[in-house]
Structure 1
Amino acid sequence: MDLDLNLVRGFVVTAETLHFGRAASRMGTSQQALSKRIARLESLLDVRLFERTAGTRLTPAGERFLPAAREALSAGERAVAAARGDTPAVRIDVWGHLYAPLRTVAEVAQALDVQVEPGPGRDWPSVAQALSRGDTDLGFGRAHPLPTKSTAGLAERVVRLEPVDALVGPYHPLAGSAALRPAELRDSTLCCPAELDRLDFLRQFADAFGVARWQDGPNLGLEHLVRHVQADPACFTLFPADAPLPGHASLRSIPLVDPTPLYAWSVIWRSSPRHPLLDAVLDGFARTGGARRWLDYRPGRDWLPDADLARLRPGPLG
């Protein structure tokens, strides 16, 4: 059977929205025309792909068809690009914006003969969904455990382990320290840039080093975070050592030692279908990371959450 990719595209968009009206709007067509496409596809396949009573949902056949349908669309796009001699851009969604993930992507992109199109992701769960749908090619940020269903078919490589400093204001009792052990912060209050249950790294740091007090809340941006730390002598936060800070001269960024906590940055991608330039991009991260010693890790000297230690070898997520 020859599949019409226009019919397949209508199915995929409808499966992602589970709403014929919204899917039709997204495709720039009428709901009636989209319904006819889906009916035609179901007739060709001789299976029912959607249940249309009490809302729209996928049938078991539709659930089985969806991953292959996405692969078919991706293969079609690659075929068109190859025929035209186009070099496909690599779309990279980044998250963890307070910690400036684009500075790492930029270092790698400058050394690549590949067009990179970075875009903002809201957070790791939303980027995982975008990858699974095929709405982006790669993700870059810090991955933490998600439900297995959310990461099915995704693979990961840790590409940078970045030391973090303790950021304190001028009146913090430890502001004059040249370096600190993480355990010395146990009597301080951890100031979090968002709700702590969404900040896996900070939560595990607090548990590992006995920090019992914290303040969290909505993510109001880096400027708000550092002003709060600057004003409250009891507070500290953690910040990647190489990330740029706003120009607050009174802030102290103090290295953490014995051990040094490391923040793990990862590249995430779909295992299948693989983007034709994926290996070139991964090689670029490896070459840049090797030159900059981004993956230096020594047990005893450094600290990583257990889940991050398990991710140091490339492989499937979950």
Structure 2
Amino acid sequence: MDLDLAQVRAFVQAAGELHFGHAAEELSISQQALSKRIARLESTLGRRLLDRGGQGVRLTEAGRRFLEPARQALAAADLAVAAVLDTHRPLRIDVWGHLYAPMRTLAQVATGEPRLELGHGRDLPSVITALLHGDIDAAFGRVHAPLSAELTHRLVRLEPVDAILHTDHPLANAPAIRPAQLRDGVLWTPGALHRLDFLHRFAMAFGIHEHAEGTNLGLDHFLDDLAADTHRFSLLPADIPLPPHPAIRSVPLIDPTPLYAWSLLWRGNGGHPLLDTLTSAFVTEAERNRWLEYDPTRDWLPERHSTDAGTSTPS
């Protein structure tokens, strides 16, 4: 039985949207054309894949069984086309977690590679969507659940973070701070705490109950808001170059030292020839700079990570 990939793509899009109008718009075809393609696919298979009724669009049992293999078939077809046509296309890579400046690490690894097309400004859910749709080839940031089963990631850097606080904060003059000492402070976050996985887990792990939220408008604005209250503190990578600010001090965290885990994320079937090159460059840089050193008696991670490709396991 030979399947028409246009019909399969129509089904997969409709199954993802559960709305024929939205699916047709994403595929740049009419809703009538979408319906015809799915009907022809169902006729070929001899099974109804989608139920369309007054309560909207729903997958049938056959549709649920067919969906994942259908996605894999489309991904394989896209890779076949890319192997022929995209050999000279830049590798499209996006980042997230911009307050923690992921471009610093990416630039260190990718310097001199003219075939990288860099984006920025997404959050993890947007990156996952872009990867699954094929809009980008890879992404770089902190990975946390939930992740699609179609994606793979590799841990490439564990970065210590410091406490940043007002110069009049009670702990500002300490040579180092234990996370537990911040329990009575106010954690300042560039957005809703429940959306900032690392900071959220840090607060839960060390009993920090008070927090205040602002808007992520860049590092300068973030530091100005942090300096508005002498009881506020936040976290930033230890080696990030802070802009001059008379009211802000950075102090190392110890016993344990929190580590921010950076990962490279891509579709499990890869696809772009530069992806292996980029992964190898990360591995080389990690070995040179000892980026993956971790001592559970000294360091704190919100999740256990593996240096091999795969998913992380919550601790």
Q: Same fold (TM over 0.5)?
A: yes
Look up the match of 1:229.
226
Look up the match of 1:63.
64
Tell me whether 1:279 sits opposite 2:276 in the alignment: yes
Change (3 A) 1:280 1:17: same
Change (3 A) 1:88 1:11: farther
Structure 1, unaligned runs of 5 or more:
none
Look up the match of 1:4.
4
Tell me whether 1:41 sits opposite 2:38 in the alignment: no
Contact 1:155 1:317 in 2 (8 A): no
Structure 2 matches for 1:43-192, cutoff 5 A? 43-53=43-53, 54-84=55-85, 86-110=87-111, 115-120=115-120, 122-146=122-146, 150-192=147-189
2:119 is paired with a residue whose SS is strand
Greater shift, 158-167 or 50-59, is seen at 50-59
Measure, in 2, the Cα distance between the counterparts of 1:209 and 1:29: 52
Measure, in 2, the Cα distance between the counterparts of 1:230 and 1:84: 52
Change (3 A) 1:59 1:126: farther
Look up the match of 2:247.
250
Which residue identity lines up with residue 270 of structure 2 in the other structure? R
2:174 is paired with a residue whose SS is coil
Extract structure 1 runs of 4+ deviating beyond 6 A. none
Look up the match of 1:26.
26
Look up the match of 1:16.
16
Which one of 304, 315, 318 corresponds to residue 310 of structure 2?
A: 315
Change (3 A) 1:200 1:27: closer
Residue 221 of structure 1, CA deviation: 4.7
Measure, in 2, the Cα distance between the counterparts of 1:64 and 1:57: 13
1:316 is paired with a residue whose SS is coil
Which one of 288, 291, 305 corresponds to residue 288 of structure 2?
A: 291
Measure, in 1, the Cα distance between the counterparts of 2:244 and 2:280: 35
2:288 is paired with a residue whose SS is helix
Contact 2:99 2:216 in 1 (8 A): no
Measure, in 2, the Cα distance between the counterparts of 1:85 and 1:126: 24
Measure, in 2, the Cα distance between the counterparts of 1:317 and 1:270: 16
Measure, in 1, the Cα distance between the counterparts of 2:12 and 2:242: 42
Measure, in 2, the Cα distance between the counterparts of 1:138 and 1:317: 18
Change (3 A) 1:270 1:39: same
Measure, in 2, the Cα distance between the counterparts of 1:232 and 1:242: 24
Instruction: Give the number of aligned pairs.
Output: 311
Structure 2, unaligned runs of 5 or more:
none
Which residue identity lines up with residue 60 of structure 1 in the other structure? E
Residue 35 of structure 1, CA deviation: 1.6
State, as a whole percentage, how many aligned pairs show the same letter. Answer: 53
Contact 1:112 1:284 in 2 (8 A): no
Look up the match of 1:213.
210
Measure, in 2, the Cα distance between the counterparts of 1:152 and 1:84: 27
Measure, in 1, the Cα distance between the counterparts of 2:112 and 2:289: 13
Measure, in 2, the Cα distance between the counterparts of 1:166 and 1:2: 60
Calculate the aligned-residue CA RMSD, in Å: 2.7
Measure, in 1, the Cα distance between the counterparts of 2:145 and 2:26: 32
Change (3 A) 1:129 1:311: farther
